[in-house]
A and B are shown apart, each in its own frame.
Chain A
Amino acid sequence: MKQASNNTPEAAAFAVTRSDGRQVRLELAGPLTYASLGPVWNACIHAVRRAQPKTLVIDARQVTTCDGAGIGFLSFLLARVKKKKFSAEIVGLRPELQAMLERFGQPSAPEPPAPPAGLGAIAALGKASAEFFADVHSQIAFFARILLTGARMAAHPWRFRWKDFFVIAELAGFRALEIVSLLGFLFGLIIAFSSAMPLRQFGVEIYVADLVAIALVRVLGPFITAVIVAGRTGSAYAAEIGTMKINNEIDALEVMNMDPVSFLVLPRVLAALLVTPLLTVMANLWGLIGSGLVIRSLGYPLVIYLSHVQSILSMTDVLVGLVKAVIFGGLVGMVGCLRGLQTQLGAGAVGIATTRAVVTAIILLVLTEGVFSVLLHFLEI
């Protein structure tokens, strides 16, 4: 049996011969290199294995050159044969190549065994719920830690990092004005338009004004704004703190006896907490403008629209919306920082932290909104 990868002089070739069934002779020829070994490596190993040698003689007299791949190939063959407890020898390898084999050709470490099969369904469920509760616990503990640190900071307000706070607040607040206004406007437009159609059948489309005003100010305004803050700012917190974490910057702060919570987290949470209600006001205003446009286009003068809005909205409604916005903002900021601090090793972990920050924030927003709805209903606010 004789095989060559192709007919160019640069190709590696091998031939396997068996004498009296115990001794197998493998003749190698040509260069044994990265370029030449690709096509013959597996074929040659298989041919040797099929021949089932008791002793293997590798005849390397016709090997012209040998690089790292050739060394790897020869040592691979030797290691395979040794593992089967057969003997093998290489004859006729040029002395300088023999020296290279001895220096660079130690058998490489065995591959690790395949990881154990996955957990059973019940064990997996248990593991997932344990992780879930540990995560809930970490969020509550982090929340408490922020409150405590904040309270301590309130006693020494000059130690608060005001400069960082203002920079972050500008990025999180002022820079978000456009997107928040645009979304508020579009939402006002869309809700007004889609509710005007059914109300028109009863001739009461002017009540769109009441509907939009209440929905926007009490529920949608704070919620949309908080989702935008989660996507823009919460994710940025997680990415920034996460990158600091993998660069050991957080460790450096700790050993310099600076609490990362008061140094990094407090300014961020406070910024998110303060800018979210301001942005909410903006979203509400633009939402009302959007729905006003729709009413206007239905043929009502703006004065009527405004008087409807004014009579339906109470100060309580506005306050409810703003309180929600404060809480939403705080949650988003907290979760962003927490996920950042929880970042594991490596660059990929920052991406994971960012994703988790946004997902957790949105889940928390929905849950909190639900709690608020029930609470406000029973308190009749």
Chain B
Amino acid sequence: MRKPIIQVDNLTCGYGDTLILEKVSFDVRQGEIFVILGGSGCGKSTLLRHLIGLQSPLTGTIRILGRDITAAEGNQRKQILSSFGVSFQGGALLGSMTAVENVMLPLREHTALPADAVGWIARQKLRLVGLQGYEDYKPAQLSGGMQKRTALARAMALDPQILFLDEPSAGLDPITAAQLDELILQLSQMMGITFVIVTHELQSIFALASRAILLEKNARGIIAEGNPNDLKNDQTNPAVWRFFNRMPAAASV
């Protein structure tokens, strides 16, 4: 078994007095595609924001590459941050810059590459996500799915070891979504990038995931963990069965 790259230990988090997740523990291993599943509003984005250090947990620790991101400060925090890229649910592109300028931003800030090189690499990344021809559009002139792909290109601009993607294929047509899945697989296999992905697309999950955790709102935690193909056939837990087989809950809506 490959060594863990992210270790979450007894994580409890919430907003104000409301607890969202309670005593959640799991590992993400080097090079795997790890998927976080769960119904809308169960705390997937919240969990992701904790993993990337934007929010501090109430209790528990999160270690990325062995270093505790909740306690890190200054240079140590910078080092941890440079080991991963994030594509946010809403894209979070800078609206005053064009798509290619958004991708160039981390390249300009964190490498000594000359301007030619930065422009070339940024355009290459946009081409990888299928956005050739839209390099010089402002985010507001792009569709939602295109904004997402630009955000993905920006997140992988520096080939980080870990990529966090919040619902990358939501709002994409099936063909583009499948191309994105293929890109993620290739990046994982050829470059060894570890992925942590929040998604609802069952097809993507089965195509991509090495391992998945399923969060549930009432349980405030993980109700299933494993390979999605195994989880799909697991009939012991009705909530898990319903999720993977698209069944509505029997009594409630």
Contact = CB atoms under 8 A, between A and B. Distances in A.
Interface in A319-363: 345-348
Contacts of B95: 345-348
Contacts, number: 95
A45 B112 CA distance: 16
Nearest to B125: A68
A111 B122 CA distance: 11
B80 to A, nearest CB: 17
B112 A38 contact: yes
Interface string A30-55: 00001101110110010000000000
B124 A75 contact: yes
Interface stretch (B58-66, B134-142, B198-206): B134-142
A104 interface: yes
Interface string A61-102: 000000111011101100000000000000000001001100
A76 B123 contact: no
Contact of A68 (B119, B133, B139, B159): B159
Contacts of B133: 109
A215 B214 CA distance: 74
Most interface-central of B113, B125, B141, B156 (chain A CB within 10 A): B113
Contacts of B111: 34-35, 37-38, 69
Contact of A99 (B112, B128, B190): B190
Nearest to A71: B124
A260 interface: no
Residue of B116, B124, B140, B157 contacting most chain A CB atoms (<10 Å): B124
A100 B192 CA distance: 11
A39 B95 CA distance: 31
Contacts of A41: 113-114, 116-117
A346 B135 contact: no
A34 B111 CA distance: 6
A108 interface: yes
Interface in B122-153: 122-128, 132-133, 135-136, 138-141
A68 B158 contact: yes
Given A106-B127, A346-B95, A72 B121 contact: yes
A159 interface: no
B223 interface: no
Given A41-B117, A68-B159, A345 B141 contact: yes
Interface centre among B95, B114, B119, B121 (most CB of A within 10 A): B121
B191 A72 contact: no
A35 B141 CA distance: 34
A103 interface: yes
Contacts of B112: 38-39
A69 B121 contact: yes
A128 to B, nearest CB: 24
Interface string A106-130: 1111011000000000000000000
A108 B120 contact: yes
Contacts of A68: 121, 124-125, 156-159, 191
Interface string B99-118: 00000000100111110110
Given A68-B191, A99-B190, A111-B119, 6 more contacts: A34-B107, A37-B111, A68-B121, A69-B117, A104-B190, A107-B124
Q: Which 8 residue pairs of A and B lie closest in terms of their CB atoms, listed nearest first? A: A38-B112, A108-B123, A345-B140, A346-B95, A108-B124, A72-B121, A68-B159, A348-B96
Interface of B: 95-96, 107, 110-114, 116-117, 119-128, 132-133, 135-136, 138-141, 156-159, 186, 190-191
